[in-house]
Amino acid sequence: MYYNKKTDDNNKIKDNIMDILKCTGVIIVTSFIGIVFFDIGIEESNIIMIYILGAYIAALITGHQIYSLVVSGVNVFLFNFLFAEPRYTLLAYNDAYSVTFVTMFIVAFLTGTLTKRLKIQTIESSKAELRAEKERLRANLLRTISHDLRTPLTSISGNASNLLYNSEMIDEDSRKQICKDIYDDSMWLIKLVENLLAITKIEDGKLNIQMNVELLDEIISEALKHVGIKQEEHTININYEEEIILVKVDARLMMQVIINIVDNAIKYTQKGSIIDIRTKKTEDKAIITITDNGPGISDEAKAQIFDMFYSEHRNIADSRRSLGLGLFLCKAIVNMHDGNIEVKDNKPTGTVFIIELPIEKVDCV
């Protein structure tokens, strides 16, 4: 990874400036509150607590322990200047003030130091939890992939072996069926890899979005060209809004959303099922609904269906389980477009996926 020292130094300078501004703000606010308390006759011990609280807050919102030390020292001088007799000087006629100043500084500094250590420990604990979560996700991914890739890879290698060594004994119809099976399995693997790559980029914050104004109808039509070959076993109806709908999206990513949802509808519904795709336009939203008349999704699954690696147990004709990546990716992409995706029941049976995207308004001159 390329390391830019100049950029890193600039970021440190900005962070230090922000911390100085935060400390200055804390000092001004605590002094203002102290003056108000003093004017209404509240005891000096309570004003001291305000300054200690200021040191605590400074330690909480800044990035280095030195700021807590500085705020503690400044607070002692300000208390001496504003409230110790004679006021508005750095002199103190009462010898007891010396003990007060030292005690105030020590308490404020220790409070700030303990707060800073607690903050660091909390951050480290959060980082440890994040690392553990990433390791858990990685382990789940490897375990799931190693299990689910075995079936299509075994099918591809077995069918290829038949074609290679027994081609003379295989009739034309069987040969076409074997080729179709190889194609289906290879397409499943390709889509799996595409989803994995997209999710990896999203998790790393490296997914580049190229937003352009697009016709929603064209995105859907193009996406359906890349749906699995088994779409021929189902009826896909498309009903576009008569009015032109423009959306500002990354067409490639939005196509992937449509492909994943339609592929799911094909995979999890019986042969001959009907899949309806409709578009609608409201004042500020473009709405896509993808409806099927399959067995539907349980209420328990609806709450988790967009989670990574979640896959409701179903009987699938090709014996392949879903890795639980497709719908997670759909939600991530739609969210990146400031949109929303949800799942509902289709009455009397089936599922409805609803995608809402911000509409792109075009001024006609």
Give residue-wise pLDDT tens across range 202-224.
766 666 778 889 999 999 999 98
The span from the first CA to the last CA of the chain, in angstroms, equals 49
* Among the ranges given (104-113, 232-241, 332-341, 345-354), the one the predictor scored with the smallest mean pLDDT: 104-113
Give the range with max mean pLDDT: 49-53, 324-328, 334-338: 334-338
- CA dist., res. 228 & res. 249, Å (int): 24
Which amino acid is residue 166, in one-letter code? N
Q: Is the peptide bond before 348 cis (omega within 30 degrees of 0)?
A: yes
Residue with tokens 């889509």: 191
Hey, what amino acid is at 183? Y
* Weakest-pLDDT range from 104-113, 240-249, 297-306: 104-113
**242 band by pLDDT with thresholds 50, 70 and 90:** confident
**How far is 74 from 66, CA to CA, in rounded Å?**
12
Better-predicted residue by pLDDT, 9 or 163: 163
